[in-house]
Structure 1
Amino acid sequence: MPEYTARHLSVLEGLEAVRKRPGMYIGSTDSRGLMHCLWEIIDNAVDESLEGHADRIGVTLLPDGSVVVEDNGRGIPVDEVPGVGLSGVEVVYTKLHAGGKFGGGSYAASGGLHGVGASVVNALSHRLDVEVDRDGKTHRMTFRRGEPGQYKDGRKPTPENPFTPFTKDSALEIKGKVAKKKTGTRVRFWPDPQIFPEGTKMDLDQILGRAKQTAFLVPGLTLVIRDERGEEAVEENYRYDGGVVDFVDDIAPDAAITHTLHIEGSGTFTETVQTLDKKSGHLVPKEMERTCRVDVALAWGQGYETTMKSFVNIIATPVGGTHVQGFEAGVTRALRKLIDNNTRRLKITAKDPKIEKEDIMAGLTAVVTVSLPEPQFEGQTKEILGTGPVRSIVNRVIGDGLMEILGSSKRSQRDETNRLLEKIVAEMRARVAARLHKEISRRKNALETSTMPAKLSDCRSEAVENTELFIVEGDSALGTAKLARNSEFQALLPIRGKILNVQKASPADILKNVEVSSIIQVIGAGSGRTFDLDVARYGKVILMTDADVDGAHIRTLLLTLFFRYMRPLVEAGRVYAAVPPLHRVDVIGRGKAKNEVIYTYSEAELNALLRKLEKQGRSYKEPIQRYKGLGEMDADQLAETTMDPTHRTLRRVSMADEESVKAAEEVFELLMGNEVAPRKEFIVEGSDDVDRARIDI
């Protein structure tokens, strides 16, 4: 049995604390903590790329549960660390608070700052192998649960192979020769089953997402992810040269109303840092000037969700921190100033409330990145930036940058800025309306019905899940529908002709439109970002339009309104389209049998029915009734075919998944958006498929 010396204790002393309290360093010991170990090693490689020394990083997941991370950077120093007596590799992987980023000046800005990442991963690994290419040689060192030594590997390296710890002197093994100019580091580690529960595995989707994100943040860096754990290997490559601008374009959830704005800048601040005095060997305080670089891309979309990703030295900060606080303050300050300069055009009065941050952030997609030496994070997991002076630097850079871009006198930029300001003011007014709505009862009593549009014919039931709102085309159809409906649970709201196309209209025009505002008011759940599905006044919303081209157009305009401003209602499957018949065929009964009425819903269905009747030798009354509109039906016919739940047919409008949402977004923008050229091209391409006889003229 090998001797256990005092030297072992000095090496393992710090790492034993990591094994006792792993949650303090990696957050948890489930898959989230395991992924954090991988991020620590990957981030070390990325830091080499940030300094311009590496342009390729590879990550390979192996069938035995281990993972390999390799880069073509400078390679971990292999010479002896002065005053320590150990190689740079051993110091980095066994000593807490040691490394080139811990006040060493080797990195201007990096994700690692506490000097504990690599050593923590080593402490929590059953086995860890490090290979470094430097000076024409491949240097190697292996560890078992943080302890350096040598494995006697047979056919393949595993943590179960015989291990001999170093007892007196430790040295890097020279594994082979490489080209003089070739440098880099390879790290392979096996997570320790004593730390991570059985079944804890690396998540490929998370790794791919992180790799793609890193490729956006470090233009010119290639990341190769390979998973060999399945029957067939899976490999993905990522490289992007557009930086944060491309990142915003990739994650934007909806069509943009502004182009992607790119703002860069920097600022300096001083802070007191404890540095090692070479003469005394003790830490002494020293005033140091720091430079914080800011790189931000942002764009506003037509929707109302806020999508923001923030990073410090390319390390994601999902909880935010001082850089995000500064960004939000800068954006709010700039937009408020622009709105104050345009109050007359925006028709803002002294009675209107103050523009809030949430009004400005609605529909915003942003990527906020800062880089600075030795940032102060709250905890090793680096989820929150705590460096105070960063807040004011980002605030100034973003505020001044937005004022310069959005305040430009160029006509194209002025038009874009006007659209943005109108959207923000509309968000403010929608927020106020939503708050007022919550203060009143969802159902009005007899004395309060005047708050609803006069043309609404409401139902009596208050059981929302059973109620239906029919949005009816035209007053003529309304008269028939009133007689055909069941007033217990069916409400009617008529609209006059074609409503406003909200895909092209400005928020100000939408608020002014009587038909649109009536629909929003009657449904009673607000609109846009403030839409609250739980307070919608009806269980179903049914669009009942004529079965002709105009009716289809009106239905499309209504669906555009629901998709753009009341999307949760569509996602919940509570929007329907009524299916009124096109034809009524009165089939003459044989002998004493009564005549039979058959409704058809298309020309093809009518022709098929007539052929069937001819084969059966049955006759029908001529001419066949062709319904041009809902108003041509009497109440019994409308109830039987379109409104009575026991006989009618409804088409549910739904979005099953994210792909269908994206497809719908593209179709609405193509058919209803501002760009005419793509729509013209679509019409021309499809013109050969149109049967002129089918056009209702």
Structure 2
Amino acid sequence: MTASPSTTSESEYTARHLQVLEGLEAVRKRPGMYIGSTDSRGLMHCVWEIIDNAVDEALADRGDHVLVTLHADGSVSIADRGAGIPVDIEPRTGLTGVEVVFTKLHAGGKFGGGSYAASGGLHGVGASVVNAVSSRLDVEVDRGGKTYAMSFRRGEPGIFDDGKAGPSPDSPFQPFTAGSELRVVGKAKRGVTGTRIRFWTDPQIFLRDARLDYDSLIARARQTSFLIPGLTIVVRDERGLPDTPGADGPVEEVFRHDGGISEFTEFLAPDPGLTDVWRLQGEATFTETVPVLDAQGHMTPTEVERLCGVDVAVRWGTGYDTKLKSFVNVIDTPKGGTHVAGFEQSLLKVFRKQLEVNSRRLKVGNDKVEKDDILAGLTAVVTVRLAEPQFEGQTKEVLGTSAVRQIVSKVIERELTARLTSTKRDDKAQSALVQEKVVAEMKSRISARLHKETQRRKTALESSSLPGKLKDCRSTDTGRSELFIVEGDSALGTGMAARNSEYQALLPIRGKILNVQKASVGDMLKNAECAAIIQVVGAGSGRSFDVDAARYGKVILMTDADVDGAHIRTLLLTLFFRYMRPLVEAGRVYAAVPPLHRIETSAQGKAKGEVVYTYSEQEMRQVIAQFERKGKHIKQPQRYKGLGEMDAGQLAETTMDPARRMLRRVTLKDAENAERVFDLLMGSEVAPRKDFIVDSAQALDRERIDA
């Protein structure tokens, strides 16, 4: 009787087919499990692991200086002035502390032994993993008046025979055989301790195009210096790579911020401040059941009391973008976790309670404020510090310690309530501004929702919800339709005759709209012109803006070709940039380019006269000179002071007819420049405006003054 295929397969699969990966071999076999990937991200993760170990010394008050050097040969070194890695013998393994840290997975001083109350390293695999994926790693330790050294090749300890060219992973290597040796290579100054690590990543592990990202390194160094006040981090680039700050020679950048996360919040904020930075701090204890190794070597579940410190900085600005960064110890948690959940839960609870108390003054009505209304314009840095936090994976992107949520929530509720109900003059004024902003955001969200519910295109005759002054088009094809925002009733009259009413709509505005750069959201919504524009576009405003709901494919700003027209256009651009930015990003906002002059030649015999429109004084003089050279007689050139001075045919020909007009698409950079100019010339900061006026006085052309 012959065996079936399945029986044969089962009999061939025996214990000898199983592989047991010892030590660092597992890391080299499956590096992605430990460093995320083998591209540039994994390479940067290795650098972070060593930097975090150096920063942990500063967290434990055992050092205040970290030097990161990018060497010309592609290696990276990190030096700190911490306590130094232990150099004595670890009793269980019989190896020195240095060798244990760099060759044994899950070995280190951060498993609750009391050496680190809070740290970035948690799993004891960081240094050993970096060693495993490096073609060479050198470590030097200053401790007890001596300098100790040890080298590794792909995780194996030994000695490199370096020549005059200096250390290199390609130098001859002799592994230790009988027993490893921690060499004494010099003397350290009395009282000086620290660790220096230099490593070369292994080309057998990493992809050929894996590169260190200098900008990411700088951003991480700056971020860490904000999180640990008093810590100095120096990044030195010796690579001389093109398109980097160090292209022309070695360059150093030094980061130190004694203001901590208050400074960090100001640095992150994308808009002018509505409030100062409010610091919300507190701490509480919680118990956690963890396995602890007892005297007999058994893992025993034990209840441990933990201390969780909460430190949060918040600041509301005039805009609606949200910037929220969260950290556990010094670990960035970009995907949040229990600390962020506790923060947001408490924000919602506190504001709902305060708005209920002040509902009559703020005219809240029966509507409920939502989380997004409160987060609009908020810049916040949420940090918690605790021993042995629980994360999801070695990359530590999400905090999982459940008790932290309640602790953060209680601290924020207590501290934020105290701020919002404070009787101090500044706190009281800022509290009122924030609550008004939140209510305005709520009303804006509700308004946007109502617009979305009535998304179907309607003409002015079909819907009384649109402003009566809107001269709508007949087409319901959003991709084809155009909205012209025109300056004044005279331009509207000419535009009505010049437009194609099938797909071109006109909305007149009276003069100069509100400067939304320094106005609150509430003031903007109360302004008739701003409200009309947002209503007609029909896609909401701020963070609730839905570009797919916009009623027109193009929005064209059609203002006079003079200084006042440029002023109005800049005000409109600022409105679109701050409250309808996705429309700008989608390239659907345009500026019409009306001409300044109309030059017409007289008919000569059978030849008809020519008409040319020009857009500047210089262009007008050039055209006149060309006609004169050809011997053509020129009628008196017509100078347009405004769109209302054109007749319908001229306006259609130059500005509204798609076949002949010229439009300038507004880019995000144009809108940013408009906002920057208004922030300078009309913002709340007086000093920059004064400096601008003084500096620009010499460049003024006095002939341009209308006096």
Give distance in 1, aligned partners of 2:648 and 2:141: 85
Change (3 A) 1:640 1:293: same
1:634 corresponds, among 605, 622, 647, to: 647
Q: TM-score, normalised by structure 2?
A: 0.89
Give distance in 1, aligned partners of 2:695 and 2:200: 57
1:408 corresponds, among 402, 410, 422, to: 422
Give the equivalent residue in structure 1 for 2:494. 480
1:260 corresponds, among 269, 274, 277, to: 277
Matched, 1:229 2:239: yes
Contact kept in structure 2, 1:297 and 1:368, CA below 8 Å:
yes
Give the equivalent residue in structure 1 for 2:323. 307
Contact kept in structure 2, 1:65 and 1:201, CA below 8 Å:
no
Change (3 A) 1:381 1:469: same
Residue type at the aligned position of 1:307: K
Q: Deviations over 1:69-113 (max 9, x none)?
A: 211211101011234322111111222222111111111111112
SS at match of 1:557: helix
Give the equivalent residue in structure 2 for 1:448. 462
Matched, 1:316 2:332: yes
Q: Deviations over 1:591-627 (max 9, x none)?
A: 66544444444455555666666777765555x5443
Matched, 1:648 2:661: yes
Contact kept in structure 1, 2:570 and 2:674, CA below 8 Å:
no
Contact kept in structure 2, 1:549 and 1:696, CA below 8 Å:
no
Give the equivalent residue in structure 2 for 1:245. 262
Give distance in 2, aligned partners of 1:696 and 1:460: 44
Change (3 A) 1:647 1:693: farther
Q: Residues 585-600 of structure 1: matches in 2 within 5 Å?
A: 585-590=599-604, 593-600=607-614
2:577 corresponds, among 563, 575, 581, to: 563
Change (3 A) 1:243 1:665: farther
Give the equivalent residue in structure 1 for 2:555. 541
Give distance in 1, aligned partners of 2:495 and 2:578: 28
Q: Residues 140-179 of structure 1: matches in 2 within 5 Å?
A: 140-155=149-164, 156-179=166-189
Matched, 1:132 2:145: no
Pairwise CA distance, 1:204: 2.0
Residue type at the aligned position of 2:225: A
Give the equivalent residue in structure 2 for 1:366. 380
2:190 corresponds, among 177, 180, 191, to: 180
Give the equivalent residue in structure 2 for 1:470. 484
Residue type at the aligned position of 2:580: M
Pairwise CA distance, 1:521: 1.7
Q: Deviations over 1:1-30 (max 9, x none)?
A: xxxxxxxxxx98333333333333222233
Give distance in 2, aligned partners of 1:631 and 1:666: 30
Contact kept in structure 2, 1:134 and 1:180, CA below 8 Å:
no
Residue type at the aligned position of 2:211: K
Contact kept in structure 2, 1:317 and 1:384, CA below 8 Å:
yes
Give the equivalent residue in structure 2 for 1:91. 100
Q: Residues 7-156 of structure 1: matches in 2 within 5 Å?
A: 13-155=22-164, 156=166
Q: Deviations over 1:132-189 (max 9, x none)?
A: 1112221112223323233333343333444333334323111122222222111122
Pairwise CA distance, 1:192: 2.8
Change (3 A) 1:676 1:91: closer
Give distance in 1, aligned partners of 2:172 and 2:511: 83
Change (3 A) 1:608 1:306: same
Q: TM-score, normalised by structure 1?
A: 0.90
Q: Which sits farther off after the overlay, 446-455 or 417-426?
A: 446-455
Q: Which sits farther off after the overlay, 557-566 or 603-612?
A: 603-612
Pairwise CA distance, 1:208: 1.7
CA RMSD across the alignment: 2.8
Contact kept in structure 2, 1:269 and 1:290, CA below 8 Å:
yes
Give the equivalent residue in structure 2 for 1:274. 291
SS at match of 2:89: coil
Matched, 1:522 2:536: yes
Give distance in 2, aligned partners of 1:49 and 1:482: 70
SS at match of 1:365: strand
Give distance in 1, aligned partners of 2:480 and 2:22: 68
Give distance in 1, aligned partners of 2:339 and 2:467: 47
Give distance in 1, aligned partners of 2:560 and 2:159: 82
Q: Which sits farther off after the overlay, 190-199 or 474-483?
A: 190-199
Change (3 A) 1:664 1:47: farther
Residue type at the aligned position of 1:213: Q
Contact kept in structure 2, 1:442 and 1:524, CA below 8 Å:
no
Pairwise CA distance, 1:671: 2.5
Give the equivalent residue in structure 2 for 1:293. 309
Unaligned runs of 5+ in 1: 1-10
Give the equivalent residue in structure 1 for 2:4. none
Give distance in 1, aligned partners of 2:311 and 2:120: 16
SS at match of 1:132: strand
Give distance in 1, aligned partners of 2:149 and 2:691: 62
Residue type at the aligned position of 1:219: P
Residue type at the aligned position of 2:61: G
Give the equivalent residue in structure 1 for 2:15. none
Give distance in 2, aligned partners of 1:41 and 1:305: 34
Q: Which sits farther off after the overlay, 309-318 or 563-572?
A: 563-572
Change (3 A) 1:441 1:532: closer
Pairwise CA distance, 1:528: 0.9
Change (3 A) 1:381 1:661: farther
Contact kept in structure 1, 2:391 and 2:400, CA below 8 Å:
yes
Residue type at the aligned position of 1:113: L
SS at match of 2:55: helix
Contact kept in structure 1, 2:577 and 2:672, CA below 8 Å:
no
Q: Residues 487-506 of structure 1: matches in 2 within 5 Å?
A: 487-506=501-520
Residue type at the aligned position of 2:533: I
Q: Deviations over 1:529-586 (max 9, x none)?
A: 1122233222321222233444333223222211211122223333222233344445
SS at match of 1:472: strand
Matched, 1:667 2:677: yes
Give distance in 2, aligned partners of 1:125 and 1:614: 78
Change (3 A) 1:22 1:605: closer
Give distance in 2, aligned partners of 1:654 and 1:18: 48
Matched, 1:283 2:296: no
Contact kept in structure 1, 2:318 and 2:520, CA below 8 Å:
no
Q: Deviations over 1:624-660 (max 9, x none)?
A: 544333223221122223222333333332234xxx7
Contact kept in structure 2, 1:217 and 1:244, CA below 8 Å:
yes
Q: Deviations over 1:489-519 (max 9, x none)?
A: 3211112223222223322222223322221
Contact kept in structure 2, 1:12 and 1:147, CA below 8 Å:
no
Give the equivalent residue in structure 2 for 1:332. 348
Contact kept in structure 1, 2:680 and 2:689, CA below 8 Å:
yes
Contact kept in structure 2, 1:588 and 1:619, CA below 8 Å:
yes
Give distance in 2, aligned partners of 1:446 and 1:665: 32
Residue type at the aligned position of 2:491: A
Contact kept in structure 2, 1:524 and 1:537, CA below 8 Å:
yes
What number of residue pairs does the alignment pair up?
680
Q: Which sits farther off after the overlay, 226-235 or 187-196?
A: 226-235
